[in-house]
Structure 1
Amino acid sequence: MTGEALRATGELGSWAAALRWEEVPDPVRARLPLVLFDVLGACAAGARLPEQRALVEAWDPAPGPAPLVGGGRSVSVEDAAWLNGIATVCLELDEGNKYARGHPAAHGFSAVLALAARLDADGPTTAAALLVAYEVAARFGRATTLNAGAHPHGSWGVTGAAAGCARLLGLDGDAVAAAIDTGAGLPVAAHFASALDGNPVRDAWMGAANSSGLAAARMAAAGLARNTGTAGHTLGGLLGSFEPGELVAELGTRWDITLGYFKRHASCSFTHPAADAVLELRPALAGRAVEEILVETHSLGAGLDRVTWDNRLSAMFSTPFVVATAFLRGRVGPEASIPPALHDPEVVELASRVRVAVAPDLDARLPGERPARVTVRTRDGARHVHEVPNPVGDVDHHPLTEADLSGLLSGLLGDGTLPGRLRDCAGRLPEAPGVRDLLGSLADP
């Protein structure tokens, strides 16, 4: 296993070191700015939360060249990697990838952008590094099957941050592979229960991933890193199982960044298909008293069945909360998971009548689909059923455009200049002569 992991990591490192932005296929070149726009928007929205502002004050970050996106200041590379990483995921709005079973972009973009600002790297180099971060993380996500109960934040994705930062530093193939391997030796042993319990350590796992990836790249730049097939021991021994061949399957021809999804609900992606189905049923159920809502889903989403919650995070990981909110309010935005809406008696009461069950026929459709089937039974004896194959926003099911993302982010961030600046930065970055000033403009709220 470790020998195969060593060889595959070496091949992946050589590919990453040789990648040139101008040689990337046009559909991929078009997709990266859209993913970057989404990630920057999620980060800026997270930065506005009172708890994120309190964290920044308690952290007391050192001044530096890297912006806290929407956070009102520029700080050191290390602090930006940590704090932007946390802000990106704390509202559950950032881009994800069903084949990687997690969030490749969030694992590495904060570290790459912070380092790019420090280096004032040119746009093509920065874009290539971001793409490398995504593709490497996604491939490690495909290769890793975590043990039951494990959460994907902070484990396989450290390799993406390491690869992206190493590519940005201009390291050769062997050194990039060493950085990736070192990142594979720095995973977090994260348990899904922390998210269900509403423990914000779940968000910190993403800050740790970005910071650890940055450290791995710097170790490789110093000549202190080696490729020894570490993933075979950590991801494949301690945390789950690992298939090294997935690291290099269709390398250079399949681009996972084109296969991801954007999110319109501020909640775990496993809850989205059920919320979408309820929103489709909602008009026909106006004025009808609901007896029960059955959500049939796949096994990945089975654990999100709690009907009690005590903070934002635990609510965002409760399918009953999300379904009840969608049914009663017509949307699941960030405002739904803060008091007093968080404890709205009407939402709490309906959520108590939401039941979650695994359906074998839906489970069999993974990973190409993440389906849900919702059955609403009303007190007059009627049954209303709707099934969706994937959440809205998946590239395979009502994909969101730049205009859609702009609308969503304007709703989150208001009518100020920040949404436009985020879109402008994401669009201009790949061709910029230097990215420091461009990124620096994003610090302003």
Structure 2
Amino acid sequence: MKKTLSQQVAEIGEKLTFEDLPDYVVENSKKFILDLLGNLLASKHIESSRIVVDVVKDLGGEPTSTVVGCNYKTSAPMAALANGTMGHAFDMDDDHREGTQHSSVVVFPAVLSLAERYKKSGKELITAFVYGSEITIRLGEAFLGQTYYQGFHPTGTCGVFGAAGGAAKILGLNAEQITNTLGLAGSQAAGLLEWKAQGTWSKRYQAGHPAMCGTLGALMAKRGYTAPTTVWDGEDGFLRAYSYKDIWDEKKVIDEFGTRWEMADTSIKVHACCRFSAPLADCALDLYGQGIDTEQVDSILAKVNKYSIKVLTVPAERKADPTTVVDAQFSLPYAIACGMVKGRESIAEYTNETIRDPKVLELASKVRWELDPEAEKVYPKYYPCTVIVTMKDGTTYTSHVDYPKGDPENPVTWEEAVEKFRFMSGYHIGEFEKDRIIELVGNLEELDCLDELIKIIS
């Protein structure tokens, strides 16, 4: 009998070793891990982070796993919940454009919580992280960029499978147990896009929730809890149930899994806004560099793909005049206006105070958009955009971006990732601690245990 998709992926996971991973996969993984740690350390003072940490503390739990930056340990699932939610607070954690989701912020909190509890090595941590990341990204790719139109957020819906797979791998489960772990994840796949309607925090929770659920599922499967082997490809499985108009390609899940690593092409973000805004932000910074006097701008036209219009311009009144940070993070007019006025798009430009800058809002009111058929043709392979500025005297300026900074074709180097980490961790830890974290992550595969790294990030 032909084995199901999850059984095939589970068998690959059982056999996978660190030595099977190409050097570039290992090096990129360390870059993603350092980047996420910077996001975690930066976010601990954010109100949404404080709330989830307070809830986790109220619930309690065996103190086996660290909540990053909070000097607190709790159970592995609760630590995964807190770290996943905090890591997504600024929306500056990495993402995968064709998988159309954030993977590391879901998978890493799950594997870290269990690696700490069970005293795993750096090699084991990286291997589990790679395996889990590959699962969630490939599931996202299988929807061909269309699951958004069904109202689902792949970071949550696909992410729980990646967290589950990574957690199962760090626990050393066999193929049958991994299959059950993935099957249990199917009962916990969740994440609606409705958070964007009112600029709420629930998107951040849609990183923490799957991290927690994947961890919990692996612990249950370890003890013999069963789940369907057909969780992905069954008649009522994930691919059919979560697809838009039955559009999916299950070959994306399994083809060359274990020899071709999609997760290594994850993009590191350099702007504190939605991934769909990244090329717009790059265009805006390019236009800023052209020396445009924004007070003399008559109109701005952005030409983008269809989904960028859907996610970044609706509801229109909240995008042109954002009232929350989430509104601004997912606003086409704000991303363009912010970059053109300030010449940067860091977390400092996405606070409750700075999103109300009158100069930015005035320019945002002049931004319009239209569908670019050429951009739509290549979605979700990549997200090109064009921004055209018309001045009051009729002069025009144009900027076009195919691959924003951070994409595999325009990558963030290790040195640039280090610079971002230093900026994100800011005043939260001292320079000695920053240097040591960078050194430890840079040599993660050489660590027999994670105790020193855990102690510093605690």
TM-score bracket for the superposition, by shorter chain length: over 0.9
Q: Which amino acid aligns with 1:237?
A: R
C-alpha separation between the residues in 2 aligned to 1:147 and 1:38?
26
1:29 aligns with 2:41: no
2:188 pairs with 1:186 = yes
Cα distance in structure 2, aligned partners of 1:441 and 1:420: 11
Output aligned runs, 1:155-304, within 5 Å. Answer: 155-188=157-190, 190-232=191-233, 233-240=236-243, 241=246, 242-287=248-293, 289-303=296-310, 304=312
Shift of 1:266: 0.4
Calculate the TM-score normalised by the size of structure 2: 0.91
1:116 maps to a residue whose letter is A
**Counterpart in the other structure of 1:131:** 130
1:370 match? 383
Question: Which letter maps to 2:274?
Answer: C
Equivalent position SS for 1:373: strand
The total of aligned residue pairs comes to 438
**Is 2:340 the partner of 1:327?**
yes
Structure 1 Cα separation of the partners of residues 352 and 94 of structure 2: 26
Q: Distance in 1 between matches of 2:297 and 2:115?
A: 53
- Tell me if the contact between 2:103 and 2:155 (Cα under 8 Å) persists in the aligned partners: no
Q: Distance in 2 between matches of 1:147 and 1:297?
A: 16
The alpha carbon displacement at 1:174 in A equals 1.9
Structure 1: 5+ residue runs without aligned partners? none
* Residues 422-431 or 287-296, more deviating: 422-431
Contact residue 118 and residue 436 of structure 1 kept, 8 A: no
Per-residue deviation, 1:39: 1.4
Q: Distance in 1 between matches of 2:140 and 2:303?
A: 25
Q: C-alpha deviations, 1:365-395, integer Å up to 9, x for none? A: 2233211100011111011111110211101
Distance 2:239 2:174 in 1: 26
State the distance in 1 between where 2:349 and 2:332 align: 13
Aligned residue number for residue 413 of structure 1: 425
Give me the whole-angstrom Cα distance separating, in 1, the residues matched to 2:52 and 2:5.
39
Check the 8 A contact 2:34/2:421 in 1, yes or no: no
Question: Within 2, Cα distance between the matches of 1:390 and 1:66?
Answer: 38
RMSD (CA atoms):
1.9
Q: How does 1:94-113 map to 2 (within 5 A)?
A: 94-113=93-112
Say if 1:196 and 1:317, in contact at 8 Å, map to a contact too: no
| 1:196/1:318 contact within 8 Å kept | no
Structure 2 residue 64 is the aligned partner of structure 1 residue 49: no
Partner residue of 1:440?
A: 455
Unaligned runs of 5+ in 2: 314-318
TM-score by length of 1: 0.93
Give the aligned residue type for 1:249.
Answer: D
- The CA deviation string for residues 238-273 of structure 1, in whole angstroms up to 9 with x for no partner, is 321443222211122211122111111000010110
Does structure 1 retain, via aligned residues, the 8 Å contact 2:52–2:85?
Answer: no
Aligned partner of 1:337: which letter?
Answer: Y
Letter in 2 for 1:412: M
Correspondence 1:4-15 to 2 at 5 A = 7-15=4-12
CA contact (8 A) 2:39 2:425 kept: no
Alignment match of 1:39 (pick from 24, 28, 36)? 36
Shift of 1:358: 1.7
Matched with 2:444 is 429
Q: Percent identity?
A: 25
Displacement after TM superposition at 1:205 (Å): 1.3
Q: How far apart are residue 308 of structure 1 and its match?
A: 2.4
Mapped partners of 2:5, 2:353: distance in 1: 51
In 2, Cα distance between equivalents of 1:59 and 1:435: 23
Corresponding position of 1:77:
76
- C-alpha distance in 1 between matches for 2:436 and 2:68: 11
Shift >3 Å, 4+ stretches: none
Report SS of the residue matched to 1:364.
helix
State the alpha-carbon separation in 1 of the partners of residues 197 and 303 from structure 2. 19
Given the alignment of the two structures, is residue 91 of structure 1 paired with residue 106 of structure 2, yes or no? no
C-alpha distance in 1, partners of 2:188/2:222?
Answer: 17
1:351 aligns with 2:364: yes
Measured after TM superposition, the shift of residue 134 of structure 1 is: 0.7
Residues 146 and 19 of structure 1: CA distance in aligned 2, closer, same or farther (over 3 Å): same
Deviations 1:3-43 (A, max 9, x none): 98x61211110101111102311111221111111111112
Query: Separation in 2 of the partners of 1:20 and 1:123?
Result: 12
Note if contact 1:216-1:225 (Cα within 8 Å) is conserved in structure 2. Answer: no
- Quote the offset at 1:147 in angstroms: 5.2
Contact 1:154 1:208 in 2 (8 A): yes
